[in-house]
């Protein structure tokens, strides 16, 4: 019932929303399209992520899979257009596809056409009908790196038995933190272990990529630089006030929404402080703000900053803080962060501050602009978090060696 309602709503939304239209259009004739992509002479591996953010966790694993199983066809599937359209690591896979809605016939047809030897689902992606269909084909199933909370649908509510049964379909579940492990142990879920968060490896991969920008370097000069990454209007409103009260810093503003309407709104709201879009490849002498008006660069831009204010934490949930912390800069974020245990770890180590209002932002800005943590403080934390991808790959290799799907 929930799936049918979602399907009806998204088709309705597609009449007005470009993103919803892409979601609908991308699934037209998916059976025929998938059949054309499958090479019947090769074995196949499926990696599924909800969107681009989740695939950041899967990319280090995908890189190892491509090296270790070069003769396999590797399919990367997404639920959201943000993943399908902006995933750039195309050399690591053979095809990028949409996953159809988790209806019984959809799932059966998808599994029968693709028939993967192994399927890796990332983080929260638990599709009951698809898991059952793949299990019937003896596909090896792994969920990693996963996070669980006691209030999730698998453990409470009228449908908990149905959704918890889906967890039993997995051959292996690797989780990011100890609380998640304990929750699964209490539910008697088998094949579980602790792996950590592979986003740390992915963030270090991004950090090692060459990324030069004489424009941003000349814009910052010798000034202190704050970057607002994946910002929403609530964070931007606080930053606007900070610009008015603190006159000794430059701002790199990278909004979550880069639609033309939002870009124009930001240009208008920040106009009193001098603002130029990054795409114009020039700034004005009086500019204090440079606006990143395209997607895919934020992960590299943190290298130019002294402090990062990560968006989302004043709304539905904070965005990726790990992309920033690997550059040895403190991070700020709002209180909606319970799904991300790394934020508490960063707070405990003095590498971050929680922002609930403008006073919090002003105080954190003053503190970190005068007393930045030492590089070794950041590095000891980062090094302690590495190793997740290796553990996931070890689990995959064990499953592949005992695969019975072909």
pLDDT per residue as tens digits for the range 235-286: 999 999 999 999 999 999 999 999 999 999 999 999 999 999 999 999 999 9
- Same-domain pairing of 298 and 170: no
Q: Does some domain include residue 302?
A: yes
Domain residues for the domain of 17 are 2-198+387-401
* Selection from 252, 247, 244, 241 nearest residue 219 by Cα: 252
- Same-domain pairing of 217 and 177: no
- Same-domain pairing of 393 and 362: no
Tell me if 167 sits within 8 A of 173, measured CB to CB: yes
Instruction: Count structural domains, the chain.
Output: 2
Listed range (85-89, 148-152, 236-240) with the worst mean pLDDT: 85-89
- Same-domain pairing of 169 and 151: yes
Q: Does some domain include residue 207?
A: no
Q: Does some domain include residue 204?
A: no
Q: Does some domain include residue 206?
A: no
Listed range (10-14, 39-43, 197-201, 348-352) with the worst mean pLDDT: 10-14
With a cut of 90, say whether residue 154 has pLDDT above it. Answer: no
pLDDT confidence of residue 5: 54
CATH number of the domain that 24 lies in?
A: 3.40.50.11720
- Same-domain pairing of 133 and 249: no
pLDDT in tens, 99-122: 998 889 999 999 999 999 999 999
- Same-domain pairing of 219 and 311: yes
pLDDT in tens, 47-73: 999 988 889 889 999 999 999 999 999
Rg of the Cα atoms in the chain = 22
pLDDT confidence of residue 20: 65
- Same-domain pairing of 306 and 396: no
* Selection from 235, 226, 303 nearest residue 266 by Cα: 235
Strand partners, 249: 224
pLDDT in tens, 299-311: 999 999 999 999 9
- Same-domain pairing of 169 and 266: no
Q: Does some domain include residue 317?
A: yes
- Same-domain pairing of 17 and 152: yes
Give the phi and the psi of residue 217 in degrees, each rounded to 5: -65, -45
Q: Would you tell me how many other CB atoms lie within 10 Å of the CB of residue 377?
A: 15
pLDDT confidence of residue 16: 63
- Same-domain pairing of 378 and 394: no
Q: Say what percent of the chain tops pLDDT 70.
A: 93
Angstrom distance (rounded) from CA 20 to CA 381: 39
- Same-domain pairing of 312 and 374: yes
Q: Does some domain include residue 208?
A: no
């Amino acid at each position: 019932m929930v799936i049918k309602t979602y399907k009806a709503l998204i088709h309705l939304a597609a009449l007005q929303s470009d993103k919803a239209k892409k979601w609908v259009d991308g699934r037209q004739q998916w059976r025929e399209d998938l059949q054309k992509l499958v090479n019947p002479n090769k074995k196949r591996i499926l990696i599924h992520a909800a969107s681009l953010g989740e695939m950041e966790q899967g990319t280090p694993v995908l890189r190892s899979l491509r090296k270790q199983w070069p003769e396999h066809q590797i399919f990367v599937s997404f639920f959201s257009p943000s993943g399908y359209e902006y995933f750039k690591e195309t050399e690591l896979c053979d095809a990028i596809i949409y996953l159809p809605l988790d209806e019984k016939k959809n799932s059966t047809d998808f599994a029968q056409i693709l028939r993967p030897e192994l399927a890796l689902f990332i983080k929260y992606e638990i599709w009951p009908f698809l898991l059952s269909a793949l299990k019937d084909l003896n596909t090896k199933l792994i969920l990693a790196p996963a996070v669980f909370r006691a209030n999730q649908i698998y453990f409470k509510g009228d449908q908990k038995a149905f959704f918890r049964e889906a967890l039993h379909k997995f051959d292996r579940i690797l989780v990011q933190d100890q609380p998640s492990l304990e929750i699964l142990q209490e539910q008697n879920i088998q094949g579980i272990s602790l792996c950590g968060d592979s986003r740390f490896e992915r963030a270090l991969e991004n950090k090692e990529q060459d990324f030069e920008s004489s424009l941003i370097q000349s814009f910052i000069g010798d000034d202190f630089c704050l970057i607002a990454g994946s910002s929403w209007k609530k964070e931007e409103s606080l930053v606007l006030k900070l610009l008015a009260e603190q006159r000794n810093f430059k701002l790199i503003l990278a909004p979550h929404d880069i639609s033309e309407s939002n870009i124009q709104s930001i240009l208008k709201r920040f106009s009193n402080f001098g603002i130029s879009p990054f795409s114009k490849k020039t700034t004005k002498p009086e500019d204090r703000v440079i606006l990143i008006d395209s997607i895919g660069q934020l992960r590299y831009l943190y290298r130019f900053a002294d402090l990062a204010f990560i968006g989302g934490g004043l709304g539905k949930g904070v965005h990726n803080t790990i992309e920033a912390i690997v550059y040895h800069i403190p991070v700020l974020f709002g209180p909606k962060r319970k799904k991300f245990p790394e934020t508490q770890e960063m707070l405990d180590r003095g590498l971050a501050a929680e922002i609930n209002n403008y006073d919090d932002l002003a105080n954190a800005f003053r503190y970190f602009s005068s007393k930045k943590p030492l590089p070794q403080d950041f590095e000891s934390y980062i090094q302690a978090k590495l190793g997740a991808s290796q553990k996931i790959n070890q689990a995959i290799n064990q499953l592949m060696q005992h695969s019975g799907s072909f």
